Amino acid sequence: MEINVPLLKQICEIAGAPGFEKRVRDLVIELVTPLVDEVKTDNMGSVIAIKRGMRNPDGKSVMVAAHLDEIGFMVTHIDDQGFLRFHTLGGFDPKTLTAQRVIVHGKKDLVGVMGSKPIHVMSVEERAKLPKTTDFFIDLGMSKEEVEKYISIGDPVTRDRELIEMGDCVNCKSIDNRVAVFILIETLKQLENPAYDVYATFTVQEEVGIRGANVAAHSINPDFGIALDTTIAFDVPGAAAHEKITELGKGTAIKIMDAMTICDYRMVEFMKQTAAKEAISWQPEILTAGGTDTAGVQRMGKQGAIAGAISIPTRHLHQVIEMAHKKDIFDTIALLKACLEQIDGYDWKH
């Protein structure tokens, strides 16, 4: 159950905050072009890679969506001492930002540190409060004059973390959702017999409101939709059984619902049957808070789509680092490939 860790590392480490996905988009275009029949980029910047179906007299299509963007920040102010203030792009847990390195992407990339008030000079009341993102600033170690040579208001900021292997897991910033980008590319490499036309769609701006998937689904107008994204694995000390959502190492997750989508019962059952047939480990996912590209894929086509999602269990989600299990990644590739090759054999009318 080996996976291509060097490729996953390359995809996870490259920068791509919402609205600033160009670097990761260029890499994806380079990687997928030899694998498909056609590649195009829509006006928002989502990449649509099309692999034609082998048994498709009616011209049916399957849209598979994996978002390119990662949670990040945008520079909003440079003060007289050269410190940066910022706005979040996507949801962060503020307590995880303390003293973390970030990269500010201006005329050149500059490494900075998330600074905040030292605990030594906090009042008793301040120590008792949970931190807010507005409590932090970015320290570049430069004067305002030096900072302004390279950095402007509106520049994006991303986390600075390398991918490492920890036991049977991989650990990095941006596992959400670069692991899904990796999975979709690896599936395209293995996909020799797709039933219907596959629109492998690498979407933009998911972390700020499913924006790229909405536009791409409207354009593609798919008959079927499968989103690929991470989901919570709260399988840690102190978690009650009903809180876990998923667990690392127990297989890929078949989404039943999240806060924005109730997956089509037919797609859920098709995925379950396919996993059983192929002896692929899986676990059910019900995520009561948080949404994914599934919503756009399901609803924004002209007739809607029979849609669901395959999710990768992930610990420490939306924090400075995130962690996924190699077996779950392997199982997700296997299930996606099997679904795309067998989708024409299921009775979708029941």
Catalytic residue among 70, 186, 206, 247: 206
The yes-or-no answer on residue 206 being catalytic is yes
Q: Determine the Cα–Cα distance for residues 126 and 321; give it in Å rounded to an integer.
A: 26
Q: What is the DSSP letter of 191?
A: -
Residue 41 has, within 13 A of its CA and on its CB side, a CA count of 14
Distance separating alpha carbons of residues 306 and 308, to the nearest angstrom: 7
Buried b (16+ CB within 10 A) or exposed e, 302-316: eebbbbbbbbbbbbb
Alpha-helix residue ranges (DSSP H) falling in 255-342: 265-277, 294-299, 326-342
With beta carbons less than 8 A apart as the criterion, state whether 340 and 191 touch. yes
What count of other Cβ atoms lies within 10 Å of the Cβ of residue 125?
Answer: 7
Residue type, 220: I
Render the burial of 74-88: b for 16+ CB within 10 Å, e for the rest. Answer: bbeebeeebbbebeb
Q: How far is CA 241 from CA 129, 288, 312, 324, 327, in A?
A: 29, 15, 19, 19, 22
DSSP assigned state of 204: S
Strand partners, 253: 283, 311
Distances (CA, A) of 212 to 160, 199, 215: 25, 14, 5
Catalytic residues: 206
